[in-house]
Amino acid sequence: MLSLLVVGAIVLAIALGYLTRINIGLFAIALAYLIGSFVMGMTPAEVIHLWPLKIFFIIFSVCLFYSFAIVNGTLEKLAEQMMYRCRRVPHFLPYAILGASTLIAALGAGYYTVLAFMAPITLMLCARTGLSLIAGGMAVNYGALAGANFVSSQSGIIFRSLMTGSGVPESEAFVNAIGIFVATAIIPLIVVSGFVFLSNNKRAMADAMQHVEAPSPLNREQRITLTLTLIMMAVVLLPPIAHLIMPESAVVGYVNARINIGLVASIFSVIALLLKLGDERKAIAAVPWGTLIMICGVGMLIAIAIKAGTIDLLASWIGSSIPPVLVPVAFGVVAALMSLFASTLGVVTPALFPIVLPIAHSLSIDPMILFISIVVGAQATAISPFSSGGSLILGACPTDEKRAELFPKLLFRAAPLGFGVALLFNLGLSFLF
């Protein structure tokens, strides 16, 4: 009975957030308090302690540093450079959009920021070059997703934090995050290649791309910001990679154990401020506070579900009712259906990641396969107009007519196409691994 109440609370928080357009995390906090204190007998202090402080700190610190690249225009200039370099091979424009979105997101801008910036540019390019709106929309959406999934970018950090919070060792979480990034980088290439080689608008695109002007070079602040970003990525990524290669080295193990991306990002934020790479107030304002509240608020409600035994109950049901070979497919389908109406980062992965280890251990499945299946499934339908990605792309439409034209294409063509490719990919994972 208690588990049903908690599941109902999660569904209610998502529904209320969707209907009212109020942050889901705020509803989740309120429901966590009501159920935790008045149904389960927890003290208010115990409920407050469920706030995932580690995840909050890491996301805040990393996003604060990366916000300097947003504020001083570094990311915008990189996107312009990539578009310019594509002018001689215009039929590869979807690859340029995909590559620019992936690179900017991987450098730390995050999924929502990249879409907010790149979606208007993409729709403008579609109008000027004759590129299909579906091809452009899927390229920018997939690119933002894949880049953000990089191990040192926003989504990748969240996935690693959720995995370690679910009991996965830090080194395994790092490897799993690499697997998620590789998988979500392969799928866009398959989909975009289909659009590139099956479309018939290469000639019109070639004519339209002849007059693209060269962007101005990076200024001092932008050059330093890009250099700092690459240095920070090296500092964060090299020790765990070295530890995987040389697990017996005491020096490597000592350094790796003391590298924390949140603390490293804090140091680089101070360096950015001392070098005057951006305004402090604007950088802090650029932190995705809404995403932070949603992830941590839902995290509190998921923690209530864990205490109530809901997660264990769900894990045992999946483990006993679905053939092991189809478990990754089942996870992907559930994640895709949830992602039609809810956020992958704020709702889907916090809800599903905690049940991965119990199921993986009971069915002798590699946990990485299940983590990948969840993310691939969830991000397959992120372009739905009811989800965050699709809604941002719709919001970038310049007119109501364009918005009305794009809405059914996202809902009835892009989302089903993404779901179909993800389903086939997860089927392949199931039978190959």
| Whole-number Cα distances in Å, 431 to 111, 366, 406, 424 | 31, 13, 36, 11
Rounded Cα gap, residues 390 and 140, in angstroms: 11
Question: Is pLDDT of 211 > 70?
Answer: no
Q: Nearest to residue 407, comparing CAs of 433, 383, 380?
A: 383
What sections of 246-343 are H helices per DSSP? 250-257, 261-274, 280-285, 289-308, 310-321, 327-339
Q: Nearest to residue 377, comparing CAs of 320, 305, 327?
A: 327
27 vs 2: which has the higher pLDDT: 27
Q: Please, what is the average pLDDT of the chain?
A: 84
Tokens 């900017």 belong to 104
10-35 pLDDT, tens digit per residue, is 889 988 987 888 888 899 999 999 99
Query: 62-90 b/e with 16+ CB inside 10 Å = b?
Result: bbbbbbbbbbbbbbbbbbbbbbeebbeeb
Q: Rg (Cα) of the chain, in Å, rounded?
A: 22
Average pLDDT over residues 74-88: 74
Question: Is pLDDT of 202 > 70?
Answer: no
Q: What is the pLDDT of residue 33?
A: 96
Rounded Cα gap, residues 268 and 236, in angstroms: 12
Average pLDDT over residues 402-406: 77
Work out the pLDDT band at 67, boundaries 50, 70, 90: confident
Q: Nearest to residue 159, comparing CAs of 344, 291, 361?
A: 344
Question: Is pLDDT of 71 > 70?
Answer: yes
Residue ranges covered by each domain of the chain? 50-287
Contact 282, 14 (CB under 8 A): no
Q: What is the pLDDT of residue 83?
A: 66
Work out the pLDDT band at 142, boundaries 50, 70, 90: very high
Contact 39, 2 (CB under 8 A): yes
* Cα 40–chain centre separation: 33
Work out the pLDDT band at 204, boundaries 50, 70, 90: low
377-388 pLDDT, tens digit per residue, is 988 888 877 666
pTM, two decimals, is 0.77
Question: Is pLDDT of 318 > 80?
Answer: no
Rounded Cα gap, residues 147 and 368, in angstroms: 19
